[in-house]
Amino acid sequence: MTTKSLTPWGVVLLLLALGLALPPAALAADEEPMSGKARTFLASLGERAIHVAQDKAAPKADRETRIRALLREGFDLDIISRLVLGKHWRKMSDSQRDEFVGVFENAMVQQSLTIFGGYTNETFDITSVGPDPTNPKLIAITTNIKRSNGATAKVDWRLRKRGQDYKIIDIVAEGVSMALTLRQEYGAVIERSGGKVDGLIEELRKTAA
């Protein structure tokens, strides 16, 4: 498995680094209170992420620590792990699940260090916030990404409420689900490893290293 397999979630983290360009996270007149809180969550997360993206002079260990904190705060890594592993998750022992979530997080952090290094002042605007059409228990936030060369892309963020907080569980970029993309890629790695998740875990460990 190459680092290409990790690119979708790396792109997601780059999108977080665009957050400083978000308009003020005030509650729009037609938004429900829960939707407004989700908007505020994404804007706040992005504002802090951009500081990491811009602070290229900071030591790698410091940037890594800050990226890991953003990942844990903003993403539900347990749910994402279940989504990307699909049927394989149900067959895993508790220790295997814990190990996978750990190496998955480490791989995302290392990929993000590279992605953040390529930040070039892209911007995005929130165009809508409301219940997800595929699951009303989730919040969907639609954004338009504008790159520095003028090109634009539509990205939908899927969030779930967890206690008093929100967590990102998937991102759909131009109609492509990042969770589904990783499920297909990780499934192929597991298949090449004789159906064993340990093969994927080892590949992710190498990527993180």
> What does the pLDDT look like over 28-77, one tens digit per residue?
444 456 678 888 888 788 778 777 877 878 898 998 899 899 889 999 99
Residue 180 corresponds to which tokens in the numbers above? 């589904």
Give the CATH number of the domain where residue 160 resides: 3.10.450.710
pLDDT surpasses 50 at 148 = yes
Looking at every residue in the chain, the average pLDDT score rounds to 79
Give the HSE-up count for residue 14: Cα atoms under 13 Å, Cβ half-sphere. 22
- 168-183 pLDDT, tens digit each: 999 888 788 888 888 9
* Total structural domains within the chain: 1
Give residue 146's domain range: 3-208
At residue 120, the pLDDT reads: 66
Supply the DSSP string of the chain, one letter for each residue: --GGGGHHHHHHHHHHTTGGGSPP-PPPTT--HHHHHHHHHHHHHHHHHHHHHH-TTS-HHHHHHHHHHHHHHHB-HHHHHHHHHTHHHHHS-HHHHHHHHHHHHHHHHHHHHHHHHT----EEEEEEEEEETTEEEEEEEEEEEE-TTS-EEEEEEEEEEETTEEEEEEEEETTEEHHHHHHHHHHHHHHHTTT-HHHHHHHHHHHH-
Q: What is the pTM assigned to this prediction?
A: 0.80
